[in-house]
A and B are shown apart, each in its own frame.
Chain A
C-alpha cells in the first residue's frame, strides 16, 4: 500500500485519505463569468509528471493539506499544510509536537 505523509499525523496508508485533485486558483464567484467558473470547475492540466494537488485526511485528523507528487510513479516529493487557510501555523491545538519533513519523519 502506498503511504502518504500527512503534515500533522505523519505516514498513513493512502486509503485513509480523500483525493481532491489539482490545486487551482478559485475565481471570485462575485465577479467571475460563467465561462471562467466552468473552466475552474472542469478544465485540468492532467500532467504526466509533477502535480501539485490537494488531499484530505479523511480517516485521520480530517484536515486538508497539499502534496507534490509525480503522477507517473507516485513519488511524493513534498506534503505541506495549506498556506493561508490556518495552514502552516493553524490548527496547532491538534498538531503533533514538531514538524514533519518531506520524508514524513518527525524532527
Chain B
C-alpha cells in the first residue's frame, strides 16, 4: 500500500464512494479492504468563486447547498484542522425546535425539517433518532416559561406540550420525580420531534455531498489573513498559498472573532468553552433527551449506549478547551439529583468545545460592512441543531445577494440599532 499523509492532502484521487446495498455486499466479499475515501483532496487553486472558512457543519452545509441548489460549484472550504474538528464534533448532538421567539421557532423548525430528510438527501445515515425531548421545570417561574413556550410553539405548528411528573416518569423512568428532592420536578416541556443525531455523520455526509457536486475541501489549511481593496474582499492568504476570491463566508464559530479581525469587522462575541462528558456504554434504559435548565445539565443515551452529559458554558471567556475537575464534580452532583440510580456509572471521557456567545443568545448571519465578507457566527450553544438551515440560507444569500426573510432578524447591525432578538429558549445558558 502506498504511503500518504493522514488526510490525503495534495494527493488528488478521483474515486468517489457509492453507497448502496450492492456496494455493501461487494465490500463484504472483499473483506472491506478498499472502501474508497468519502471525499477527495485537491491541490489549492489560485482562485475560487466562494471561499468558506471553517469545515464544520455550517461551512460544509453552506458549500453543499451552494453547489446542489444554486449550481455554484467553484467553492473551497478551508479548515485549519480536520473536518468537524471544532464544535461540530464536540456538541451533544441534540436537535429540537421548541424555542421561545417566533423568529427562533421558525428558523429552528426549518432546520429540524431538513434534518428529518437529510439521510435520504445525502445518501448517508445521520442516525436521527426523534425520541422526544423534555425540558424539566423545577419551580413555578420556569413552569410558567414552559407554558409560554408551548403556546408560542403550538401557534407555529410545533409539537410541544407541558406535561406533569407522572408523564415524565413514564417517558424517562430513571428520573426521580418525588416531591422531597432538593429540586422537585413540577413538570416539563415535552417536544416529541426533538432527539439526537450522530454529529460526525452530519459532517461526513455534507462533506461527501459537497465533494460529489464539485466543491473542494481543504483540510489542514489555516487562514492567515484576508486582503481587501476599496472595501471589497480580494484575497485570502492561507498556509497553502493565496486565493483570489470576491466572497468569503466566516463559519468558524468559537474562532470567528479572529477571522473578523482580519477585515476589521467588530461583533458582540465572547468565546467560552462548553464542557461535556460521556459514560461507559450500558444497555438502553433512557429513551428521551432530558434537560434541566435549573440544574444546568442535559442527558441522552446514544445508540452505542453511552450517556452523554452537557452542562453550561464555563464561567469566563477563554479559547482553551481543557476539561476541568470542578465541571465534572458539579455535573456528577446534578446528574445524581435527577437520576440517583446512576451513582455507579463511570465516566469514560470529558471534553470542551468553543462557543461564540452573543448577548441575545441568537446567531449573527448575513452581510457585513466589508463587501464580500459574510458571517454565519455567534452560534453559541445552538449551532449543531441549526446547521442545515444555516447552510441553506447562507447559500441562498451568497447566490442571490438578497438576505432571506428567515435570517433577516439575525443581521450584525441589530446590536448597534438596538434590535436584539432575546432568545431565552437557547440551550445551556443561565437565564
For the complex formed, measure the closest distance between the CB of A59 and the CB atoms of chain B, giving whole angstroms: 13
Once the chains bind, are B319 and A44 in contact (CB under 8 Å)?
no
Once the chains bind, are A42 and B317 in contact (CB under 8 Å)?
no
Given A19-B316, A19-B317, A71-B317, decide whether A46 and B324 contact each other with a Cβ distance below 8 A: no
B405: CB under 8 A from chain A? no
Chain B residues in 8 Å Cβ range of A31: none
For the complex formed, measure the closest distance between the CB of B334 and the CB atoms of chain A, giving whole angstroms: 15
For A2, A13, A34, the residue with the greatest tally of chain B CB atoms inside 10 Å of its CB is: A2
Once the chains bind, are B257 and A45 in contact (CB under 8 Å)?
yes
Once the chains bind, are B324 and A1 in contact (CB under 8 Å)?
yes
Chain A residues in 8 Å Cβ range of B417: 38
Once the chains bind, are A48 and B255 in contact (CB under 8 Å)?
yes
Once the chains bind, are B268 and A44 in contact (CB under 8 Å)?
yes
Chain A residues in 8 Å Cβ range of B261: 45
Chain B: CB-nearest residue to A43: B266
B46: CB under 8 A from chain A? no
Chain B residues in 8 Å Cβ range of A13: 326
Chain A residues in 8 Å Cβ range of B266: 39, 43, 45
Which positions 65-98 of chain A face chain B at CB distance < 8 Å?
71-74
Chain A residues in 8 Å Cβ range of B315: 14, 18-19
Complex Cα spacing A80 to B97, Å: 45
Chain B: CB-nearest residue to A48: B319
Which positions 26-47 of chain A face chain B at CB distance < 8 Å?
34-35, 38-39, 41-47
B120: CB under 8 A from chain A? no
Mask, B258-277, CB within 8 Å of A = 1, is 10010000111111000000
B123: CB under 8 A from chain A? no
Complex Cα spacing A47 to B418, Å: 24
Chain A residues in 8 Å Cβ range of B318: 71-72, 74
Q: How large is the interface on A (under 10, 10 to 19, 20 to 34, 35 or more residues)?
A: 20 to 34
Once the chains bind, are B268 and A43 in contact (CB under 8 Å)?
yes
Chain A residues in 8 Å Cβ range of B21: none
Chain A residues in 8 Å Cβ range of B325: 1
Once the chains bind, are B326 and A15 in contact (CB under 8 Å)?
yes
A9: CB under 8 A from chain B? no
For the complex formed, measure the closest distance between the CB of A69 and the CB atoms of chain B, giving whole angstroms: 8
Once the chains bind, are A46 and B270 in contact (CB under 8 Å)?
yes
Which positions 374-431 of chain B face chain A at CB distance < 8 Å?
415-418
Given A48-B255, A48-B319, A74-B318, decide whether A42 and B326 contact each other with a Cβ distance below 8 A: no
A60: CB under 8 A from chain B? no
For the complex formed, measure the closest distance between the CB of A40 and the CB atoms of chain B, giving whole angstroms: 11
Once the chains bind, are A46 and B418 in contact (CB under 8 Å)?
no
Out of B257, B258, B320, B415, name the residue touching A42 (CB < 8 Å): B415
For the complex formed, measure the closest distance between the CB of B234 and the CB atoms of chain A, giving whole angstroms: 25
Once the chains bind, are A38 and B415 in contact (CB under 8 Å)?
yes
Once the chains bind, are B324 and A43 in contact (CB under 8 Å)?
no
Chain B residues in 8 Å Cβ range of A21: 270, 316-317
Complex Cα spacing A73 to B271, Å: 13
Once the chains bind, are A39 and B317 in contact (CB under 8 Å)?
no
Once the chains bind, are B326 and A39 in contact (CB under 8 Å)?
no
Mask, B134-166, CB within 8 Å of A = 1, is 000000000000000000000000000000000
Once the chains bind, are B270 and A42 in contact (CB under 8 Å)?
no
Given A21-B270, A45-B257, decide whether A71 and B416 contact each other with a Cβ distance below 8 A: no
Once the chains bind, are A1 and B326 in contact (CB under 8 Å)?
yes
Once the chains bind, are B416 and A39 in contact (CB under 8 Å)?
yes
Out of B319, B326, B415, name the residue touching A71 (CB < 8 Å): B319
Once the chains bind, are A42 and B359 in contact (CB under 8 Å)?
yes
Chain A residues in 8 Å Cβ range of B359: 41-42
Complex Cα spacing A14 to B327, Å: 12
Which positions 312-346 of chain B face chain A at CB distance < 8 Å?
315-320, 324-326
Complex Cα spacing A17 to B341, Å: 33
Mask, B238-261, CB within 8 Å of A = 1, is 000000000000000001011001
Complex Cα spacing A13 to B315, Å: 13
Q: Which 7 pairs between the two chains have the least Cβ-Cβ distance?
A: A42-B268, A46-B257, A19-B316, A42-B415, A48-B319, A71-B318, A72-B319
Given contact pairs A38-B415, A73-B320, enumerate 5 new A-B contacts (beta carbons under 8 Å): A44-B270, A45-B266, A46-B270, A46-B317, A53-B317
10 A-B pairs whose Cβ atoms sit less than 8 Å apart in the complex: A18-B315, A41-B359, A42-B268, A46-B270, A48-B257, A51-B317, A71-B271, A71-B318, A72-B318, A74-B318
- Chain B residues near A (Cβ < 8 Å): 255, 257-258, 261, 266-271, 315-320, 324-326, 359, 415-418
